[in-house]
Structures are given as C-alpha cells and as structure tokens.
Amino acid sequence: MSENTVTASHRRLTIRVLRYNPREPGSEPRIQEYPLEEGDGMTLFIALNEIREKQDPSLVFDFVCRAGICGSCAMLINGRPGLACRTQTKNLGPEIMLAPLPGFELIADLAVNTGKWMRGMSERLETWVHTREQEVDLTRLEERMDPELAEQIYELDRCIECGCCIAGCATAQMRPGFVGAVGLSKIARFRLDPRDARTDAEYYELVGDDNGVFGCMSLLGCQDVCPKDLPLQARIAYVRRQMAKQGFTRG
C-alpha cells in the first residue's frame, strides 16, 4: 500500500425495522435486522435503498424528493418522528431502530398513508381561501399584502404535511379526530390571510372543541419534532388567544 493511500474505516451499522404488511395474508408484526456498512454522508434514505437493493427487495418505505420537501419519508427513528432523507446515520448510534409513524393507516413496513389523513383534515377545516363573491375576483386575490404578514403566512405554508407533529403528539395518538398542530396551524394561517372571507365565528366553529384547540394540552412534542421548525406552539397559542378574546368557549 502506498504512503498516500487513505484508508477510511466505516462503522458496521445494525438497522432494525418493524415490519408488517396488513394486506399480506399471514404477515405478523416482527423486527427484522439488517447489517450494513456505513458510507460517507450516508442518510437513512441511502441506507434503506442499499438494504432494498442488496438484501431485501420486499422492504416497503416511501421516498419522493429525497430533499426534505415532499414529507413522504417520515418515520420513527429510534422512537422519534423524523425524515429519513434528512437524517444522517453518523448522527445516530450504530444500532438504529426504524418503525412506521403511529397515528396513520399503515400501508406496509415503514410506509403509512399520511395523504389520506391530511386530506381528511383539510376537508374538515376547509383549508383553502374562501371568498364571498359568486365569482372569484382574481385582481383581489393578487392585492399587495403587507410584507410582514406575508412572511408570517409564508412561514406556515412551509409545512410539508409529513405527519411528524401528529406522531409526536400524545393527544393525537389518543384522539383519532384531533386535527393536531398541523391542522391548528393551518387555521392560524387562514385566520391571518386577509383574502379569506371567513368570519372568526366560522373559523372557531371548526376548531372550538376537543378535536381542535381544546384538545391541545401544550405538550410541545409537535414543535420538537417538526422538521421544518415551524412555530407551532406560538400559532396554537394565537388561535387560543383570539378565541378567548372574542368570547368563544368550548363547543
């Protein structure tokens, strides 16, 4: 070996995956272990792909963008919700436990149907701009907005609907109808948006119960695990304050 040869010693990782496919007859929940040599800059996305290519083509997990944008790779990483494509193995110990996000319909192994949950929540909270006019006035929709307000709305629009805040919230795990931090922050977002013609009473009717703002026990797990670092706690407190100010009580 020449003097200039660089030898990199990589860790041996053990990746354990909670596996179960409810659609496969005879499938039982089990933990499967995969040994793997850690590569430079390896993310869990790379690790799982390597496992699927070289060891086990039957392993099911979701990825689309690989860049923390689509939200589809969220899973429990050593018990904590996070994005697999943004998690580097070097920041974890050599033994890594992966499981599907709780609180969502399981598709198989690490893949869950967050889309179905998010659609249900969006339909229930009507997360779109409501106008009073029969015909939408596009010029009004394009009216100039105060930059500070636009920034606050933009901040909440950064949500990628990954579901981590639901998986990290004890209330959401106990109460299937709870709209969670993602839902409450969407209500805050539309309440801030001057283009949305809904009245306060209309907003708060949507979240003025235990499945909405009164179900939140300020446990803060949502904010701790949000991969986009959204100010979820502040937005939930904002909705609560606005409701109290205007005399709305538990529905």
Give me the residues that bind ligand SF4 (CB under 6 A), please: 159-165, 181-182, 185, 226-228, 230, 232
Return d(Cα 168, Cα 223) in angstroms, integer: 9
Beta carbons of 207 and 184 less than 8 angstroms apart? yes
Can residue 42 be called a binding residue for ligand FES (CB under 6 A)? no
Q: How many residues does the chain have?
A: 251
- Among residues 31, 64, 141, 197, the one that binds ligand FES under rule CB under 6 A: 64
Can residue 241 be called a binding residue for ligand F3S (CB under 6 A)? no
Binding partner at 233 among ligand F3S, ligand SF4, ligand FES, none, C-beta below 5 to 8 Å by kind: ligand F3S
Beta carbons of 48 and 8 less than 8 angstroms apart? no
Cβ neighbours of residue 213 under 8 Å, at least 6 residues apart? 184, 207, 236, 239, 240, 243
Instruction: Please identify, using beta-carbon distances, which residue of 70 and 129 lies nearer to ligand FES.
Output: 70
Spacing of C-alpha 65 from chain mean position: 15
Instruction: Please identify, using beta-carbon distances, which residue of 165 and 216 lies nearer to ligand SF4.
Output: 165
Helices (H) and strands (E) in the chain, counts: 10, 7
Query: Taking CB under 6 A as the rule, which mask of x and - marks residues 70-109 in contact with ligand FES?
Result: xxxx---------x-x------------------------
Can residue 52 be called a binding residue for ligand FES (CB under 6 A)? no
Beta carbons of 43 and 68 less than 8 angstroms apart? no
Query: Taking CB under 6 A as the rule, which mask of x and - marks residues 141-180 in contact with ligand F3S?
Result: ----------------------------x-x--------x
Give the burial class of 220: count Cβ atoms within 10 A of its Cβ; 0-12 exposed, 13-18 middle, 19 or more buried: middle
Can residue 221 be called a binding residue for ligand F3S (CB under 6 A)? yes
- Among residues 59, 156, 216, 239, the one that binds ligand F3S under rule CB under 6 A: 216
Contacts with ligand F3S by CB under 6 A lie at 169, 171, 180-181, 216-222, 233, 236
